[in-house]
Copies of this chain bind each other. A is one copy, B any other.
């Protein structure tokens, strides 16, 4: 008794939100897509690029776009998602589904249980770019990427059937985007993402900031740095606005991974001329062979 979604509202029409809109179109979705964004420019770009079909700018239009939507997708940074969830709680009824694309999941999953029980599916596409904005959005952004969900089992069981149908419908769309869907508990999500996403980001930021302090506008450095330098500092371009929220909502797991890496670098530094250096390269080679 599937009732396919005909109205989708995307809150946050930057890189991820607009890419979701384009991916929906590309995958054959023919219903309405209304965009909400605090930046009129981003909204306009998303509309011009065909990522949304309508935009809602006034508070009245935004409320209407929310209460009429079958599916609401939150694609703003994590603290923004948490704020939107408070606003959505009194507006979203059974039969509607809210999902998100936030980088951390534990605080969002907890807020979902409290504010939107049975009406929220926490999600996280492992895709992005170091620069944001609807102008860089792509329908293919999620192809081959993992899209994580951290559903609350007790909540899912309580869900009304209409919402459960939307659950599986949204999962189907995500698969049609070319993403690989994977479920896991929210706490495990945040721990793993600290290792595979947040730590690499912070290392690249720290390395870039250190090089900026050390060399500033040194012309030699600019001409010498090759692919290794470009690659290891690419994420240094990432916007603070997004990563502040990650650091805020995943502090303990991230601090743990940073401490572990500091100790590892110290070990390597103390063994630049001992056989222990070979062990580090050997383990690193193993990691790359199997991942």
CA gap between A19 and B55 in the complex, in Å: 54
A283 and B208 form a contact (CB under 8 A): yes
Chain B residues closer than 8 Å to A196, beta-carbon distance: 211, 221, 224-226, 228-229
Task: Look across to chain B and name the residue whose beta carbon is closest to the beta carbon of A267.
Answer: B206
Chain B residues closer than 8 Å to A180, beta-carbon distance: 223
A195 and B212 form a contact (CB under 8 A): no
Chain B residues closer than 8 Å to A214, beta-carbon distance: 195, 260
A235 and B228 form a contact (CB under 8 A): yes
Supposing A237-B288, A243-B281 touch, asked if A146 and B208 sit within 8 A by C-beta, the answer is no
Flag whether A5 is at the interface (Cβ < 8 A).
no
Chain B residues closer than 8 Å to A115, beta-carbon distance: none
Q: How many residues on chain A are close to B (CB under 8 Å)?
A: 88
CA gap between A240 and B231 in the complex, in Å: 20
Chain B residues closer than 8 Å to A234, beta-carbon distance: 231, 288
Copies in the complex: 2
Chain B residues closer than 8 Å to A267, beta-carbon distance: 206
Supposing A126-B226, A196-B225, A262-B266 touch, asked if A212 and B286 sit within 8 A by C-beta, the answer is yes
Bitwise, A271-283 to B at CB < 8 A (1) or not (0) is: 0110001111111
A175 to chain B, nearest CB (A): 14
Chain A, range 230-280, C-beta contacts under 8 Å to B: 231-240, 243-244, 247-248, 251, 254-255, 258-262, 264-269, 272-273, 277-280
Task: Look across to chain B and name the residue whose beta carbon is closest to the beta carbon of A255.
Answer: B269
A208 and B262 form a contact (CB under 8 A): no
Chain B residues closer than 8 Å to A277, beta-carbon distance: 240, 243-244, 247
Chain B residues closer than 8 Å to A273, beta-carbon distance: 247-248, 251
Flag whether A202 is at the interface (Cβ < 8 A).
yes
Q: Which of B188, B212, B284 contacts A236 (CB 8 A)?
A: B284
**Can you offer 23 A-B residue contacts whose CB atoms are under 8 A?**
A126-B224, A126-B225, A195-B221, A196-B221, A196-B225, A197-B228, A199-B207, A203-B203, A204-B284, A206-B267, A208-B283, A209-B284, A211-B287, A212-B287, A214-B260, A217-B290, A222-B291, A231-B232, A231-B235, A237-B285, A240-B278, A247-B277, A262-B269
Task: For the A-B complex with A197-B228, A202-B265, A265-B265 known, give 11 more contacts whose Cβ atoms are closer than 8 Å.
Answer: A127-B226, A146-B223, A148-B224, A196-B226, A203-B265, A209-B280, A209-B283, A211-B287, A234-B288, A236-B284, A237-B289
